[in-house]
Amino acid sequence: MAMAANMAYLTLLALSIAAAAVESATTYTNHTVGGAAGWFFNDSSNTCSANYSSWAANQTFDLGDYLIFYTNTNMTVIQTYNLTTYQSCSTDDALDTDTFQYGGGDDQFGVAETMDVPLTVEGPNYFFSDANDGFQCQQGMAFEIVVNHGLGLPPSLNQPPPPPYTAPPLPSVVGSPPITLQPTSGGFRACVNLPWVVSVVLLAVGGIVFG
């Protein structure tokens, strides 16, 4: 009887440990940067309101989580995947593809601001304030995290990035007559252009055969 009770207890214990282990991977988490101290820099003492490296060291970050920055317009939030940019405390040479600025656009100093930054890229993510020409960052307004896969991106964040810009193709035939759209005869356009295509193919073949 005692043995059976022990077994039942052990089974329950094992189940609850398993549940706890799974739990961390079944939800997305919003991390308040710096905890209650937020993301602030004191201009008089030149100190940050929190030690962001040690704050970050205590958290697990997954895709789809958010970093919530409680701050004001004296600070910026720069997110970058580029270590060189992070170490420079500056966005002057940063690429548009790996570095993003949150907030901004307010001319007034010290206005309360909250920035929600979704974590959408696995691996190292770096954050800093580039205000005061990087001085805040040099004083510790900076931290790095590693984003794990977790559950993967939720549908709300799972939009593919816009395709990179490509220059429109040059017109293939200079001075070709304008094409009149004729909705009733869809195949007409291709037929009109066909002799030209054939002659190009013939020229190309001729180039190969006779060249």
Binding of ligand NAG at residue 55 (CB under 6 A)? yes
How far is Cα of residue 132 from the mean position of the Cα atoms in its chain?
25
Binding of ligand NAG at residue 93 (CB under 6 A)? yes
Contact region with ligand NAG (CB under 6 A), list: 4-12, 94-102, 168-176, 203-211: 94-102
Applying CB under 6 A, among 26, 45, 180, 184 the residue interacting with ligand NAG is 45
Q: Tell me, residue by residue from 102 to 141, as one string, x for binding to ligand NAG by CB under 6 A and - for no binding.
A: -------xx-----x-----------------------x-
CA distances from 132 to 114, 135, 140 (A): 19, 5, 13
78 closest CA partner among 34, 37, 25, 136: 136
Contact region with ligand NAG (CB under 6 A), list: 18-26, 88-96, 171-179, 198-206: 88-96
Cβ 143 vs Cβ 52: under 8 Å:
yes
Those residues whose C-beta lies under 8 Å from the C-beta of residue 60, and which sit 6 or more positions away, are 24, 29, 148
Q: d(Cα 99, Cα 105) in Å, to the nearest integer?
A: 17
Q: Tell me, residue by residue from 145 to 184, as one string, x for binding to ligand NAG by CB under 6 A and - for no binding.
A: ----------------------------------------
Binding of ligand NAG at residue 32 (CB under 6 A)? no
Contact region with ligand NAG (CB under 6 A), list: 49-57, 162-170, 179-187, 192-200: 49-57
74 closest CA partner among 12, 149, 146, 131: 131
Those residues whose C-beta lies under 8 Å from the C-beta of residue 136, and which sit 6 or more positions away, are 41, 48, 75, 129, 130
What do you get for the CA distance between the two ends of the chain, in Å? 97
Applying CB under 6 A, among 16, 24, 42, 199 the residue interacting with ligand NAG is 42
Burial of 116 (0-12, 13-18, 19+ CB in 10 A): exposed
C-beta of 82: minimal distance to ligand NAG in Å?
A: 4
Give residues in contact with ligand NAG (CB under 6 A): 30, 42-45, 51, 53-55, 58, 66, 72, 74, 82, 84-85, 93-95, 98, 109-110, 116, 140
